[in-house]
Structure 1
Amino acid sequence: MFSILQPPAVPSLVQLCTGGRTPVRTGRETTQTAASDLQVISFHNTFQWFSQSRLCASLLRSKDELQRALFYTPAVREEVTVQNSCSWPANYESYSLGRLGLYRSALLRSPLEKVNIGGSSTTRGFKTKASMAREGYGSGFTSPSDIFRSIRKDDSSKKIDKTDKLKHFRSYIQDSSLSAEEQARLRIAFAEGYASGNGKAAPKLKLFTTIRDILGITLILAALFVFLGGPIRRVIIGSSNEVLPEEIEVSFQDVRGADEAKQELQEIVEFLRNPEKFSALGGKLPKGVLLVGPPGTGKTLLARAVAGEAGVPFFHAAGPEFDELLVGQGARRVRDLFQTAKARAPCVIFIDEIDSVGAKRTNSVLHPYANQTINQLLTEMDGFRQNEGVIVLGATNRRDDLDKALLRPGRFDVEVQVQTPDLEGRKDILEHYLAKVTLGKDISVDYLARGTTGFTGADIENMVNQAALRAAMDGKDAVTMQYFENARDKVLMGPERKSRIPDEEANLITAYHEGGHALVSFYTKNHSPLHKVTIIPRGPSLGHTAYIPEKEKYHETKAQLMATLDTLMGGRAAEELIFGPEKITSGASSDLLRATIIAKKMVKMWGMSESVGVRTFPEEQDSLVVVNDLANTTAELIDQEIKRILNESMERAKHILKTHQRELKLLAEALMKYETLDAKEVKVLLEQGEFKR
């Protein structure tokens, strides 16, 4: 709370100094009392102050100006630390209003008796440059002008006690020649100059506070960047992706079952090792090699072998790493990657899953910046500036999704197909991985190779590893053939549960369902041979029937596809035949889905319907809006053909099961008893009517 009197209605000094403009007041309204009560205005009021220099100069000019100044109602800004910039007398002891952080003169303590002052006191001098002498003020002063004339005397060599200065000023303002109103006005004028003189300190203090806050925020962000900055650093800077040749322990000797692909890449390595050999004949180093094939066939392994064999810097990146949160981040990372590679040429850049960054360009309004990364990649691979000595290896299992501009010669000059290994390739892979484990005497590599038709190199490696782990868990000294067969079934059919479900009725339905699959496949020509049938749950299914082709399949005939449809329908047909139409189950959902997909492809893609003809009807699977450009009659004809193929397949399966219903019952009973039957046991049961273990 600040002590003042309500002023008469005359112009104040600040109004005179500012051309009649009145200071702006914000905050709560003042609380006015009688003139004798000095505690009038709440301390929480806030004023905007005007020019300090003009105010101080006017106060010191004459007594008349001082008298005018006494009519001004002063207040103190809450955020300003008070200093005596007007060179008012004395180093008076001050006290602190701790909550507001504001220092005020102890001269005003007596009028502020109602203020509850808490916290510690702070001693702060007036920092006056004039009149530090003890002489110069006391009861001898006759007017305020004498005070100001006295304090301008320059005598800095003498020190005056703070208490004596306070006594001198108090004795003057309590002089009997001054009225109570004049004494109060003198206090007001002193406080006005005292508070107004600190206008210059506030900007400095604010500047210091701003700098301090900025430094604090910077330190906090730096700490977060250092300690939690893995993801942040990758978003802003990107991760290091250079691999030194000596860090790679993989060579072409470790690549098995992909001889054609290995031959192509060995030529690339030879280009890198002896470029003069080819440049002498006018040959140029290929700019890109695209590895295409199903998952697990060894595309990444081939790239690692190139890194280990070439003896040049090797840079690797994954397609999804380029695009992240920030727009333009992918294009910048492509530029940085190629810029770094150019400085280390000759070198190799390997981009795994390149379909993520090299997909077909789109005009989608949902992601207008989607083409920046692919455009930058196209420019870097074969743009205006040539990349001599930089070879790009790309790997994908979705070649059809790549942009056509990326596949043209000059960017990817060589395309290498990495397919699943054939019989000889599987033997080679098995020998490579079996050499790393302790084998039993009953191991037959030829038998395992024939029993793993369709397996990729990754599947074979997983099978060998699973067999070795299970043998070690059982405490065996060597891995026998039984462990490899169980591991093969685990890869082929999924993990096996410990036992069948306790519901015998559900097990009986499952036994007839799986028996229907096995029986139809046994009596249907052109179908792959049966491998094993079980009612023990494997993976998400309650039972499973597995088949293994006798030889490699490079294509499928219409007869083979129809045989597959008949076998898929065998499970639902057996349920309906044994338990009736009302007792069929949802267990055939996956069978019906596969059958529908095959029938749809036969009609729409493979031209195997006489009614529809050899025309194909491709589907836009990646489009947000599917546009049907078919006539209603054509679409109806396609639906009728798909339905006809599925219905005829179901009827053929029912006919086989009705003809061999006794064998179906024997097969279901054997499954309920033994839970799992292999192909030999099923053959003996169906031909002889019984078998013994």
Structure 2
Amino acid sequence: MLSMCNAVGMQGQVLFPLSHVASLVANKSTGRANHKGCQRHGRQAHESNVLCSESFCNVLSWLSKSSLQDLSRLSLTEAQFRHLAISSIETVPHRPSWHVSWSSATTFFENKNGFTKEQLRRSVLPCLFSGTFSYRFTSPLVTRPLHTAYQIRGFKTRSRQTGHSALVMKAPDLNERFLALRTRKDKEKQKAHSETEQSERLKTLLSDENLTQEEQQRLRVAFAEGYMACDPKGRTSTKLRVFNIFRDLLGIILILAILFSFMGELSGGPFRRVLIGTTNEVMPEDIDVTFDDVKGVDEAKQELQEIVEFLKNPEKFSSLGGKLPKGVLLVGPPGTGKTLLARAVAGEANVPFFHAAGPEFDEILVGQGARRVRDLFSTAKMRAPCVVFIDEIDSVGAKRTNSVLHPYANQTINQLLTEMDGFRQNEGVIVLGATNRRDDLDKALLRPGRFDVEVQVPVPDLAGRKEILQLYLGKVKVAADVSLDVLARGTTGFTGADLENVVNQAALRAAIDAAPAVSMRYLESARDKVLMGPERKSRIPDEEANLITAYHEGGHALVAHYSKEAHPLHKVTIIPRGPSLGHTAYIPEKEHYHVTKAQMLATMDTLMGGRAAEELVFGSEKITSGASSDLKQATALATNMVKEWGMSEKVGVRTFDEDHSSLIVVNELAPNTAEVIDAEIKRLLHESYERAKAILKTHQKEHKLLAEALLKYETLDADDVKQLLSGKEPIRKRHWKQ
């Protein structure tokens, strides 16, 4: 608010701001007038430091004592105060404080102050609302115009424009924006050119030969100090620039990664695989597997060769009215060659071949599996005739469920059923499926029209193992002592993948030992490694444990040797392999397609020979846990004889199926029946154990010789055991100990 001095009497006085007097006298910058602003508005500029002497005198005459004390704070010099006082007294005559008037005005305000309210409003309001910095108080209350400075703060606004220019400023068109951008670029170029010129001048100045080295150094220091003073944040500008560069590069890399993931045809990024999927087409020239490389599965190979022949020569079959089968399901244990057969089809069919795995159709997004199936078959239809191979089809073709937890779980298999044999027929698209869990497949998938042919790929028999071993042994250098027949008989139950692994492990071991060729020793060692795990370097240092192991394994070998229906002995060793401390191996003389009751009982007797030997030699209190695996196998064999194979007279010829697939297992057997079954299993195991003990009691001397030979040589083959038990010449030290 302004500090005003009020007049007393009939004669009016000017309301004058004391702060303006202080600013003018003290020469303050805030009180100066903007002469250019006055000239812009067409007014004559006056000196901002000129004070109206008459007004100043009037103000001084009506100042109170406290106001004079405030005026003393203005730090006026004595000469300024004397000049102002004298000039004011000489210019304006003295007016008395009181003035008597005999004429009355219309209002009390006019009688008291000497002017009306309208005159006051007309003289004061223009001063308050004017836009200039210098005001002229023209009022009938004063004898001359009063010029003073008045500071007004306001917001910066654009000057008022009308017409086309205002429209351009509010909504510039494309041309105006382009011109503005071009002008800005020109300014930036000029700025860069100016900075270049300044840098060149600085280099010239610093390289002036007329300056001494000390002067040049001072000049450099002065420039550096000036630069730092101009840019106080220069100390952190380097870190800030590095951070900005790293942030920009990270953003660019992220954008490029997203673009390549979405649109990259060759890369197949994760986003593309989730949203778009992949179609794995295999060209026939990229496959180096043919039907000649498939051994041991002649029946399955014959079925697939017929399909390949149909693809190569369809007229041969269609002339008789035959149709191409829509699907072939390959069923068999793991490692029997199902995928190898599919690769052979891809290598010999000479048609487009598409392959996919069952788990590839499952994604986190609902509906992705069904869309993958549609995309796969739509691509295959465009390339018909062709072959589509789905490995591990049980992942996508499992039985449909009614679970409320997975309401969309059946979409993928329903789409697969529709594509294979739906309303629209797929002409020329053959589906190959491979699984080792046929029972888990949906029944609708197994019906004719979808999988017309079901091919069993079993474990190879003796002839098949010979063919497979001959195939893989032909790829390595073998020694002359390798017996293909012995090796095939000693690998009963091995799949094609197991036989390939045996040959490969033997070749690696021979290469490590720097052997000239792969001998029979390496092949048998590799077979034992596949069966029981890698052997330890030597027997355990505990002699008591070695003695127990020797009698235990000797008991197995001795019972097997004297049991008529048992499998022939192949090798016995006390070198630890895997979890076992010893091992006794058997090799059947021929391939068995069925097992008799006598053979099963002899096998049980052989398994019981280890525990019976421990009890007879060391006593019932010294038996060990080493027979746990033997007892488990014997119990399983006796249980199957009673419950599945009908080999018990008391239980009879009936089977008892146990379904443990459900969460709740219900015993459907009557209590009496369960007791009879348990009694029969116990009887078979007890009788087998007693027969094994009887054999060992009869041949205690041979048992002791066999155990001592195992402690000495660690490993004995079938010939060594036969010579020892026949009482002939001492055993020759063979290569097994090496």
TM-score bin (small chain): 0.5 to 0.7
Q: Does 1:503 align with 2:545?
A: no
CA gap of 1:470–1:219, structure 2 versus 1, over 3 A, is closer
**1:225–1:233 contact (8 Å) kept in structure 2:** no
CA gap of 1:648–1:132, structure 2 versus 1, over 3 A, is farther
Match of 1:266 among 305, 318, 329: 305
Match of 2:587 in 1: 548
Q: Does 1:223 align with 2:257?
A: yes
Matched position secondary structure for 1:527: coil
CA distance in 2, matches of 1:132, 1:398: 101
Matched position secondary structure for 1:351: strand
Cα offset, 1:678, TM superposition: 0.9
State how many pairs are aligned.
522
Match of 1:331 among 370, 373, 379: 370
Match of 2:655 in 1: 616
CA gap of 1:342–1:671, structure 2 versus 1, over 3 A, is same
CA distance in 2, matches of 1:286, 1:603: 43
Identity of aligned residues (%): 75
Match of 1:135 among 23, 41, 47: 41
TM-superposition CA deviations, 1:150-189 (whole Å, max 9, x none): 5xxxxxxxxxxxxxxxxx66x78xxxxxxxxxx99x86x9
**1:681–1:691 contact (8 Å) kept in structure 2:** no
Match of 1:468 in 2: 507
TM alignment of 1:18-57, pairs within 5 A: none
Cα offset, 1:384, TM superposition: 1.9
CA gap of 1:598–1:359, structure 2 versus 1, over 3 A, is farther
Match of 1:458 among 486, 491, 497: 497
TM-superposition CA deviations, 1:454-497 (whole Å, max 9, x none): 33222222222222222222223322333223323333443222
Q: Does 1:563 align with 2:602?
A: yes
Match of 1:242 in 2: 281
Match of 1:251 among 281, 290, 293: 290
CA distance in 2, matches of 1:439, 1:241: 39
CA distance in 1, matches of 2:357, 2:569: 40
Q: Does 1:533 align with 2:567?
A: no
Higher relative helix content: 2
Deviates more, 1:305-314 or 1:235-244: 235-244
Match of 1:650 in 2: 689
Match of 1:677 in 2: 716
Match of 1:516 in 2: 555
CA gap of 1:219–1:470, structure 2 versus 1, over 3 A, is closer
CA distance in 2, matches of 1:305, 1:486: 32
TM-superposition CA deviations, 1:48-88 (whole Å, max 9, x none): xxxxxxxxxxxxxxxxxxxxxxxxxxxxxxxxxxxxxxxxx
Match of 1:293 in 2: 332
CA gap of 1:427–1:327, structure 2 versus 1, over 3 A, is same
Matched position secondary structure for 1:537: coil
Q: Which amino acid aligns with 2:41?
A: E
TM alignment of 1:110-121, pairs within 5 A: none
Match of 2:242 in 1: none
CA gap of 1:651–1:288, structure 2 versus 1, over 3 A, is same
Cα offset, 1:599, TM superposition: 2.4
Q: Does 1:363 align with 2:397?
A: no
CA gap of 1:145–1:401, structure 2 versus 1, over 3 A, is farther
CA gap of 1:221–1:500, structure 2 versus 1, over 3 A, is farther
Larger radius of gyration: 2
CA gap of 1:307–1:133, structure 2 versus 1, over 3 A, is farther
TM-superposition CA deviations, 1:88-116 (whole Å, max 9, x none): xxxxxxxxxxxxxxxxxxxxxx9xxxxxx
Cα offset, 1:229, TM superposition: 7.8
Match of 2:487 in 1: 448
CA distance in 1, matches of 2:674, 2:444: 34
Q: Does 1:604 align with 2:638?
A: no
Matched position secondary structure for 2:333: coil
Q: Does 1:343 align with 2:382?
A: yes
Match of 1:392 in 2: 431
TM-superposition CA deviations, 1:7-30 (whole Å, max 9, x none): xxxxxxxxxxxxxxxxxxxxxxxx
**2:724–2:731 contact (8 Å) kept in structure 1:** no
Match of 1:578 among 610, 613, 617: 617
**1:454–1:552 contact (8 Å) kept in structure 2:** no
CA distance in 1, matches of 2:331, 2:596: 25
Match of 1:64 in 2: none
CA gap of 1:493–1:142, structure 2 versus 1, over 3 A, is farther
CA distance in 1, matches of 2:312, 2:506: 41
Matched position secondary structure for 2:676: helix
Superposition TM-score, scaled by structure 1 size: 0.68
CA distance in 1, matches of 2:689, 2:38: 115
Cα offset, 1:339, TM superposition: 1.8
**1:605–1:616 contact (8 Å) kept in structure 2:** yes
Cα offset, 1:143, TM superposition: 7.2
Runs of 5+ consecutive residues of structure 1 not aligned to the other structure: 6-35, 37-109, 111-130, 151-167, 173-182, 194-199, 201-212
**2:279–2:376 contact (8 Å) kept in structure 1:** no
Cα offset, 1:604, TM superposition: 2.6
**1:334–1:376 contact (8 Å) kept in structure 2:** yes
CA gap of 1:136–1:656, structure 2 versus 1, over 3 A, is farther
Matched position secondary structure for 1:546: strand
